[in-house]
Amino acid sequence: MRFEIVARDGSSRARAGLLHTSCGIVETPAFMPVGTAGTVKGMTQAQLEELGVQILLANTYHLYLRPGYETIRDAGGLHSFMSWPRPILTDSGGFQVMSLKGLGRATEEGFRFRSHLDGSSHFLSPERTVEVQLALGADIIMALDECVEYPASHEAARRATKLTGRWARRAKEYYLNTVDSGAGAQSNGVPSPSSDSRLQTLGFCSDPPHPEPQVPALFGIVQGGTDRGLRGESAEEIVEIGFAGYAIGGLSVGEPKEETYSLAEFTAGLLPWERPRYLMGVGTPADLVECVSRGIDLFDCVLPTRNARNGCVFTSQGKLVVRNARYAREDVPLDPACQCAVCRRYSRGYIRHLFAAGEMLAAILATYHNLNFYLDTMRRIRQAIISGHLSKFLESVRG
């Protein structure tokens, strides 16, 4: 994987880049829609392509439990299984294990947890999550970390941060042994997306074609809670181990927004300039703009898709709860300023009716619009960076 910075903003830490992955190029800053179980809820893959999605996130925890990583590996990997030829990032599974309260606990060795589906017992170590993610065949995979809760005692934050460091080292070691063992990707059962004929037919994958099977890039995660000292130690350790990219974890977990921005900026400043930076689980459209200007390149969040299913859409005038009765007779689009396929075709009144009637199309149309809003926001930020107008763009967003 190669990260190419094509422009930087003069008045902030923002940069525009190109992430060259084994499966295609991602223009950064980029937002990754969340496809938890190998599908972005309510969207067909064709709609995601139409929206211009360049990279998806999928959850290792969910796919590991169902349908099982062996099933996906045997189907040629996640690209082939879900018929998604563009880049995919998988998380480590650790966050889900810990956020499904009471199901898991961290030991030095890893996470022991019970399935939320059937109560069966499982174990996820730093080595194991790399093994599973290699089998899933994503383009970017994540090291196992322990996310610090908010609020947390200094001792708890320190303990989790140190554990994250030791796990990162083990993940890196296992990764190197596996992908460099001459074994490489393929003999370990790692699918090579470029060898899948269905994806080649679709004409997306491997552009340009790779003569050699590509190995996924491993990202490390910086923790440290809200303590700048711990953030600094964690960043130093993770960077010292060395990864293809760096994620900032443990933010947007309940701390005040100003703290999120400030810690993202502080932590990003400790990471190597030439590597991509991924702020996990963030956030609102305003968060994206603010954090790009603080040096972040990649984002993921369930907000656009989850809010859509609840009848809440993002517009140029702010949030709009389209399921409210007040929109029942409004013959205007969700966002009159939006040019997406939903806003060109459907009225608020119709979409409100679909929500009231419990129709699937309600969630489908709202999700499509919200994803377009997020992706379009990122495209506009990127264009502003490249054209040197980011400060003006920030002013207009901040109002």
- Helix boundaries (H) for 222-270: 228-241, 257-268
> Of the two residues 5 and 341, which places its CB atom closer to a second copy in the complex?
341
**Of residues 139-178, which lie at the interface with a second copy (CB under 8 A)?**
none
What is the C-alpha separation between 142 and 9, in angstroms, rounded?
Answer: 28
Write down the least CB distance from residue 50 to a second copy, Å: 10
139 is a catalytic site residue: no
> Of the two residues 155 and 331, which places its CB atom closer to a second copy in the complex?
331
**Of residues 27-46, which lie at the interface with a second copy (CB under 8 A)?**
37-39, 41-46
What is the C-alpha separation between 302 and 21, in angstroms, rounded?
Answer: 23
207 is a catalytic site residue: no
> Of the two residues 324 and 383, which places its CB atom closer to a second copy in the complex?
324
What is the C-alpha separation between 81 and 6, in angstroms, rounded?
Answer: 33
What is the C-alpha separation between 43 and 92, in angstroms, rounded?
Answer: 24
Query: Could you tell me which residues come within 8 angstroms of residue 171 by beta carbon, excluding any fewer than 6 positions away?
Result: 126, 127, 129, 130, 143, 144, 218, 220
**Stretch binding a second copy (CB under 8 A), from 136-144, 254-262, 266-274, 353-361:** 353-361
**Of residues 199-218, which lie at the interface with a second copy (CB under 8 A)?**
202
> Of the two residues 35 and 250, which places its CB atom closer to a second copy in the complex?
35
180 binds a second copy (CB under 8 A): no
Write down the least CB distance from residue 200 to a second copy, Å: 13
346 binds a second copy (CB under 8 A): yes
320 binds a second copy (CB under 8 A): no
100 binds a second copy (CB under 8 A): no
7-32 b/e (C-beta count within 10 Å ≥ 16 → b):
bbbeebbbbbbebebbbbbbbbbbbb
Residue selected from 247, 365, 375, 385 as contacting a second copy according to rule CB under 8 A = 365
Query: Could you tell me which residues come within 8 angstroms of residue 3 by beta carbon, excluding any fewer than 6 positions away?
Result: 17, 18, 19, 20, 28, 245, 274, 275, 276, 297
Residue selected from 2, 10, 74, 154 as contacting a second copy according to rule CB under 8 A = 74
> Of the two residues 41 and 380, which places its CB atom closer to a second copy in the complex?
41
Catalytic residue among 91, 145, 335, 376: 91
What is the C-alpha separation between 325 and 322, in angstroms, rounded?
Answer: 8
What is the C-alpha separation between 210 and 139, in angstroms, rounded?
Answer: 13
Q: What SS3 string covers 329-359? A: CCCCCCCCCCCCHHHHHCCHHHHHHHHHCCC
138 binds a second copy (CB under 8 A): no
> Of the two residues 42 and 283, which places its CB atom closer to a second copy in the complex?
42
Q: What token pair was written down for 118?
A: 């059937």
Please identify every residue annotated as catalytic: 91, 300
Question: Which residues are at the interface with a second copy (CB under 8 A)?
Answer: 37-39, 41-46, 62, 66-67, 71, 74-76, 81-83, 198, 202, 328-329, 331, 341, 345-347, 349-350, 353-354, 356-357, 359-361, 363-365
